Structure 1
Amino acid sequence: MRVISKKGFVLVVASGFLLLALIYSWCPGKKPSMDIGLKQRGHIENLLKKRNKDILSSYHDIPYVLKESVLRELANGTCECQADENKINLQLPHILFPRVWASNLNHAYLESDSDPEGVKGRRDKEYSSFQRRSSSPADVLIVAEANSPLQYPTQGVAVRPMKTIIIPGLGLKQDPRPTHTVNLSVTMGTLDVAATVVGVSITGEGQKTMELSSNILSKLNRQLQFVTYTNTLFHPKTADTVLYESGGHQAAFTIKVGHSAIPKLYNSGTNEGYNISALVTIATKTFLRYDKLQDLIDSIRQYYPTVLIVIADDNEHPQPVTGPHIDQYIMPFGKGWFAGRNLAVSQVTTKYVLWVDDDFFFTESTKLEKMVDILEKTTLDLVAGAVREVTGYSATYRHTFSVDEGDSEGDCLHIRQGYYQTIQGFPDCVVADAVINFFMARTDKMLRIGFDPRLSRRGHLEFFIDALGSLHVGSCSDVKIGHASKIVLPWSKSESEKSYDKFRYSSTDSEGRMHTEVYYFKNRFKCMSSN
């Protein structure tokens, strides 16, 4: 008995170690957390700003003379809309002599509002959030201090098409000599100066190449602080390369040319808390499952009675779905999954859209406020929750993508289960590339990416692959939605369930080829891997 007990003990210990090994292999290691909140940039950016201020404010004691013809073209941080004066009194002046008209939007919009200051406050808050989300470290001005001896901006210089800017950070640091000379050349614009400094010779003003020289280095450096660039060749998004030379030393830097992004702001109508009905629209696509769709609607109304529900319906014999705050849009029969998503999202006018499948249902854990909160306080564009099955298991379906550069045959796509890191301040939330079908997103971002309507019966990762590099995606496991059971005995299925299965799970050669074409031709992948 003692021998058997020892063997049993050894077996139990070995089994325990095996179980621990399995648990360790199944559970990913703790991921680092990252702060993606909407706040100012970090310590390095603050140092850069201070250094730039010191560089740009040097030589202030050297006098200069302003050049009015150039100053008029420089952006000064203010703008006005002025209408042409009607000096000709004719019956049809707008036809014979078209005039510029102007409208004061501040006056026109705010004069009829009961709380104009509140509206202005909400707009300022929205715009500040937009600026922080859309900014990039690559936009920060960085000046390479003279090591060569040329001093020039390495990044962060931008001009709008056909506009004029002062090129910041130009300078020359060298030992005294009889004459100090610099040359600048551009290809998509012209160079000039906004002011002139006595004792500095300038040739090529208003041309693509300009030379500046002086026997006093400090005066030349002061003159370099007034060098301007004017874009003359329009392109919506490109860059001009500036060649900067002196005494055999040469440097090059770019000036980005393009329109700035126009903000798309949403007026929620309140400055206090989150008005979910004003911020969120719930969108879904239905096909042959009106019973489950009604369960979804009933569950939504239990928790959010006034949130708008948008339904895309491609049934052959559509049934009206009625009730307050419900918009049903009928599509051609069998148009498909992604086409329905496009239609539903296209009708959303709120800041956020919540996507749900028609066989989901809301529970006490479906807290839309939590999803809005993380989207409002971070740079995320889309945040998913978890889908809770009837078995009690909650799925989050998190994946990361990696694209390896390939050859003439295409690139390689690698899909892996997992995520990048947790989000500081939101311990139940992580950053990933693809998430489950229960997600809330910024409406304008969803519309910008869209869904490939050729994917009619199945499709999910394809959207997130199209969004790679454009969409900042997160997932929070503490917001859960219920999922109707798919465990139905074959002999107990209704006719609509049988028809749904036939459409949903039948696969044809043409559909399989379409999925292959999406990856191979549209996305230019030669292979893909996944776990």
Structure 2
Amino acid sequence: MRACHKKSLGLIVLSGLVLALFYVWSPGTSSGVDIQPRQRSEIHELLERKALNAISDYPDITYNIKEDVACRLARNTCVCLADKESFRLPFANLLFPRVWAHKLDLAFLKKHPDPEGVKQHRAQEYSSFQKRSYNPADVPILAEANSPLQYPTQGVEVRPLKTIIIPGLGLKEKTRPNHTVYLTATQGTFDVAATVGMVSVKGEGEKHMILSSPLLSALNKQLQFVTYTNTVFHPSTAETVQFATEGHQSFFTIKVGHRIIPKLYNSGYQREYNISAIVTIATKTFLRYDKLKELIDSIRQYYPTVTIVIADDNEHPQQVTGPHIEHYIMPFGKGWFAGRNLAVSQVTTKYVLWVDDDFIFTANTKLENMVDILEKTTLDLVGGAVREATGYTATYRHTISVEEGGEEGDCLHFRKGYHHVIEGFPNCVVADAVINFFMGRTYKVQQVGFDPRLARRGHLEFFIDALGYLHIGSCHDVIVNHTSKIHLPWTKTESQKAYEKFRYTSSSSESDLYNEIFYFKNRFKCMTSN
């Protein structure tokens, strides 16, 4: 193992807290809700000052760095280094495997025609990702000593099996002959990254550690160097730490988990939206090739180079060819949601637009508007509007709520309407379920997925699965036409009759399936709607 380079421990503590507080946005104060990323607020400044003050306390107390502990702390300065080859023997790599390193930045950028442009685009995408994934519950907040214990109430994280300094620990009490605090953990151990004179530390490298000193300022300085090392591997959990002194005890949590790996899409740095580069249109077809052809022709009128992905579970599939078309054949009658899964799984662009195969694009089907709100807000998915042949335009906006119901299961409440208008986008609102014409972030839609058991019909079920995962909006200014479903009986083709037989014929087994999905899979005991 390579030796750790010695650096200023105070700088590590300071930079760690500052970085943790960097992405803080204040909540809105008006009834009109702005879901765009916000700027630094007065609360942000206050929290940052408190964190910095906690670090700068007791500047006159000296300390000695404990190198074997301090070298394990993250410095946000990772390097790409491979093991040096010490000797060459046959099968040496099998007997003595070496760590290899591949510098992705050099390998990619040296062959790119515009390395600075792609770096700027990557940074912009990452900044947008950080803003979308920001959670106020991750901001470090210190509970100042009212008990008289001072400790962090939230925002402390450690990677699995890694080490951190616990920020904000302190004891604020009257002078006495001796001051003592206790730390107890269950999934990790404590240590100190530096030692302070006149402080006794017992239990280094163990789950229970005792620190004591006749000098309160020395004890508080020592508490600034207390480390926690996770020892029980779990990719996403939390450690509950007990922090106590004589007559008082407190508890706080340390989140244990890997950081979220961003998923960025290199669609090129553009001043204007290049729909063909960032959007793929996905659909599923069954016994309606005539409708599918109308859909494709209408798309090509406005977006001639956008990729169209088609999932097809016809018994006798026909060829669907043309530029920028991907046609995937499925087993016969595999079903509606299985087709959605297949189509969405093949999308490689940043956004996916879902359309039914009997929709028609018009001049009002402006995908740029959908992209614009997804780019500028924290929304993950936005629905449009569908204009029926009768002239009626539907948005199908609904809210979903789950009410706890005890041992028998919960209650699902489904209501028409929306939560609030989106500030800056007067034609858009926030809802929980939208119409069957929507654009979403591809990786987020893929994360939720579509239950493949829903073969004949399904819509609400996707949004129930998405509750808590997707931030959803609806805009009535992006409109797609719906071909007429009204046909006189004697004018129906054999394909139309066959489609209606599959689509609209219900059975007791199908009803049983929907009941099972809601009751067992989602653990609902009842469902209400209007």
Same fold (TM over 0.5): yes
Please list the CA deviations of residues 264-322 of structure 1 after superposition, one character each: whole Å capped at 9, or x if unmatched. 11011123221111100000000111111111101111111100000000111111011
Shift of 1:60: 2.4
Cα distance in 2 between the residues matched to 1:196 and 1:89: 44
Please list the CA deviations of residues 378-437 of structure 1 after superposition, one character each: whole Å capped at 9, or x if unmatched. 111100000011222110001111111112211110100001001111111111110000
* Amino acid in structure 2 at the alignment position of 1:394: T
Q: Secondary structure at the match of 1:33?
A: coil
Shift of 1:325: 0.2
Q: Secondary structure at the match of 2:291?
A: helix
CA contact (8 A) 1:370 1:479 kept: yes
Q: Which moved more, 1:349-358 or 1:391-400?
A: 391-400
Please list the CA deviations of residues 198-256 of structure 1 after superposition, one character each: whole Å capped at 9, or x if unmatched. 12111111111111111111111111111100001111111111111112111010111
Match of 2:502 in 1: 503
CA contact (8 A) 1:32 1:422 kept: no
Cα distance in 2 between the residues matched to 1:504 and 1:106: 51
Cα distance in 2 between the residues matched to 1:530 and 1:50: 49
Alignment of 1:116-265 (within 5 A): 116-265=115-264
CA contact (8 A) 1:420 1:430 kept: yes
Please list the CA deviations of residues 359-384 of structure 1 after superposition, one character each: whole Å capped at 9, or x if unmatched. 00111111111111111111111000
Match of 2:341 in 1: 342
Cα distance in 1 between the residues matched to 2:365 and 2:183: 60
Cα distance in 2 between the residues matched to 1:239 and 1:245: 19
Please list the CA deviations of residues 81-122 of structure 1 after superposition, one character each: whole Å capped at 9, or x if unmatched. 321111121132222222111111110111000111111111
Cα distance in 1 between the residues matched to 2:238 and 2:501: 53
Q: Which moved more, 1:87-96 or 1:293-302?
A: 87-96
Q: Secondary structure at the match of 1:441?
A: strand
Cα distance in 1 between the residues matched to 2:436 and 2:492: 25
Alignment of 1:64-463 (within 5 A): 64-463=63-462
Cα distance in 2 between the residues matched to 1:270 and 1:151: 47
Q: Secondary structure at the match of 1:34?
A: coil
Shift of 1:32: 4.1
* Amino acid in structure 1 at the alignment position of 2:470: L
Cα distance in 1 between the residues matched to 2:182 and 2:499: 72
Cα distance in 2 between the residues matched to 1:57 and 1:324: 64
Cα distance in 1 between the residues matched to 2:439 and 2:264: 17
Q: Secondary structure at the match of 2:348?
A: coil
Shift of 1:488: 1.5
Q: Which moved more, 1:86-95 or 1:278-287?
A: 86-95
Q: Secondary structure at the match of 1:408?
A: helix
Match of 2:6 in 1: none
Q: Which moved more, 1:212-221 or 1:430-439?
A: 212-221
Count of residue correspondences: 501
1:476 corresponds to 2:475: yes
Q: Which runs of 5+ in 2 are unaligned?
A: 1-29
Q: Secondary structure at the match of 1:60?
A: coil
Shift of 1:41: 5.7
CA contact (8 A) 1:433 1:473 kept: yes
CA distance change for structure 1 residues 271 and 66 in 2, over 3 Å: closer, same or farther? farther
Cα distance in 2 between the residues matched to 1:256 and 1:484: 52
Match of 2:57 in 1: 58
Shift of 1:62: 1.9
Q: Which runs of 5+ in 1 are unaligned?
A: 1-30
Shift of 1:167: 0.2
* Amino acid in structure 1 at the alignment position of 2:312: D
Cα distance in 2 between the residues matched to 1:432 and 1:56: 43
Q: Which moved more, 1:388-397 or 1:44-53?
A: 44-53
CA distance change for structure 1 residues 316 and 41 in 2, over 3 Å: closer, same or farther? farther
CA contact (8 A) 1:45 1:140 kept: no
Q: Secondary structure at the match of 2:405?
A: strand
Cα distance in 1 between the residues matched to 2:40 and 2:518: 37
Q: TM-score w.r.t. structure 2 length? A: 0.93
Shift of 1:33: 2.3
* Amino acid in structure 2 at the alignment position of 1:399: H
Cα distance in 1 between the residues matched to 2:79 and 2:485: 61
Match of 1:20 in 2: none
Cα distance in 2 between the residues matched to 1:41 and 1:471: 25
CA contact (8 A) 1:310 1:328 kept: yes
CA contact (8 A) 1:383 1:476 kept: yes
Cα distance in 1 between the residues matched to 2:197 and 2:252: 28
Please list the CA deviations of residues 319-367 of structure 1 after superposition, one character each: whole Å capped at 9, or x if unmatched. 1011100000001111110000000000000010000000001111111
Cα distance in 2 between the residues matched to 1:59 and 1:133: 38
Q: Secondary structure at the match of 2:341?
A: helix
CA contact (8 A) 1:283 1:311 kept: yes
Match of 2:46 in 1: 47
Match of 2:21 in 1: none
* Amino acid in structure 1 at the alignment position of 2:36: G
Cα distance in 2 between the residues matched to 1:102 and 1:252: 41
Cα distance in 1 between the residues matched to 2:353 and 2:468: 21
Match of 2:16 in 1: none
1:35 corresponds to 2:65: no
* Amino acid in structure 2 at the alignment position of 1:465: I
- The percent of aligned pairs where both chains have the same amino acid is 69
CA distance change for structure 1 residues 515 and 368 in 2, over 3 Å: closer, same or farther? same
The runs of at least 4 consecutive aligned structure 1 residues that moved more than 4 Å come to none
Q: Secondary structure at the match of 1:412?
A: strand
Cα distance in 2 between the residues matched to 1:249 and 1:96: 55
Cα distance in 2 between the residues matched to 1:57 and 1:296: 65
Cα distance in 1 between the residues matched to 2:214 and 2:272: 64
